[in-house]
Amino acid sequence: MDHLTLAVVSRNYFNLPAWIGLHAGLFAAEGLEVRIDHIEGIEEVNDRLRDGRAQLAYGVTEHVILEAEAGGRQKIIGGNVNRLPFSFIARPGIRDYADLRGRRIGVSSLRAGSSSLIIRLLAKRGLHWPEDYELVPCGPILARWDMLRSGGIDAGLQGAPLDHIALDQGFVSLGNPREEVPEFQFTSLDVDAGWAAANRDLMLRFCRAFLRAHERFYTDQETASRIAMQESGIERRYADRAWEEYTRDAIFPRDGEASEAGVQALIEISSLIRALPERPRRAADYIDRSWLAEARASL
C-alpha cells in the first residue's frame, strides 16, 4: 500500500465522500492507505498542504485563491461543497435579521470562510460590519455550534445536519443563504501542483477513488448514512435528512468537479472583507481539471 494524507476541516458531513472512499474500500482498491486528518483550524489545512504534512486537502477554497495570489502552487482539482449547505441559525428570541444589531455572530475566520457570506447577507438587510455587529472568529461549524449553545455567539451559519439538530432544539433559522447565492465553492479538493506533477501515478489512483466515492454517495444512501453516523456521531434521522438535502441540491458534485461559477461567486463575495488588489485572473485559472479528466478516462 502507498500512503497519503488528506487534511480536512473538522469532523463534519462535508468530509463524507472521503469517508466513503476510506470505509467502502475505494482507496484500498487503488492500493492506497489514506489517512484523513481532521483539523479544527481552517488555516492549518492550507498550511499542511503547503509544507507537505498533507498531500491533498478538502480545504476552504478561498485559501487556494489567496495562496495563488501570493505566488503559491496550490490548485483546485475537484469539488467538495459546491453549493452552500447552511442555514443562518440564531438563538431563541431572535426573530429576524434586524434583531442581530449589536449581536455577536460566529464565523470560521476573518481571513476566509463564512465571514464574507455573513457580511453580504447582513448588508443586504441594512446591517454593516463592524459598526452594527461583531464578527467572532470561532472556527468551523462544530465550534460554532458549541459557542451558539453556550451563549458565546448569538448566531452563525450551520451546515446540514447541524442546522436540523439546532431547529429541533429550539434555535431559529433566519434563512438559507443558498436561496441568494445558488453557486458558491465553499470547500474543494486541493493539491500542491508541484507535488502532483512529481507523483502522477498516486494522483490518478486517488482521483479514481475520489470519483467512485462521489458516485457511491449518490447511489447508496444506506452506506452514506451509516458512515456519516460512524464518523460524526449523528443520529440516523439526521444522517438521512442531510443525504436527502445534499443529493437534492447537488451540494457535493456527483461528477466530482469544482464549479467555475461557484469559484467566481466566491471571488466576488470575498472581496467584501478585504482590501485586495484587483484579481487579474478568472475563476478557471485556479482550477486544474486535467487530473479528474485523466482519472475518469481510465475508469
pLDDT confidence tier of residue 278, bands split at 50, 70 and 90: low
- Region 81-90 average pLDDT: 95
- Region 224-244 average pLDDT: 97
- Region 52-62 average pLDDT: 94
The percent of residues above 90 in pLDDT, for the chain, comes to 78
Pull the grid cell for residue 212: 467512485
- Region 59-70 average pLDDT: 88
Domain limits of the chain?
A: 2-83+184-297, 86-179
The distance from CA 291 to its chain's CA centroid, rounded to whole angstroms, is 20
Q: If you ran DSSP here, which 8-state letter would residue 287 be given?
A: B
Closest by CA to 16, choosing from 161, 231, 178, is: 231
How far is Cα 42 from Cα 102, in angstroms, rounded to an integer? Answer: 26
Tell me which of 71 and 240 has the higher pLDDT. Answer: 240
How far is Cα 286 from Cα 264, in angstroms, rounded to an integer? Answer: 10
Closest by CA to 159, choosing from 93, 80, 212, 224, is: 80
Q: Is the pLDDT of residue 280 over 60?
A: no
The distance from CA 227 to its chain's CA centroid, rounded to whole angstroms, is 18
Q: How many other CB atoms are there within 10 angstroms of residue 232's CB atom?
A: 20
Residue 41 confidence (pLDDT): 79
Domains 2-83+184-297 and 86-179 share a fold: yes
pLDDT confidence tier of residue 273, bands split at 50, 70 and 90: low
Q: What is the CATH number of domain 2-83+184-297?
A: 3.40.190.10
pLDDT tens-digit profile of 221-232?
999 999 999 999
Residue 275 confidence (pLDDT): 52
Q: Is the pLDDT of residue 272 over 80?
A: no
Helices (H), the chain: 16-23, 26-29, 42-51, 61-69, 115-123, 141-150, 162-168, 193-198, 200-219, 221-232, 236-248, 260-270, 290-297
- Region 142-169 average pLDDT: 93
Residue 117 confidence (pLDDT): 86
How far is Cα 141 from Cα 147, in angstroms, rounded to an integer? Answer: 10
Architecture of domain 86-179: 3-Layer(aba) Sandwich (3.40)
- Region 130-159 average pLDDT: 91
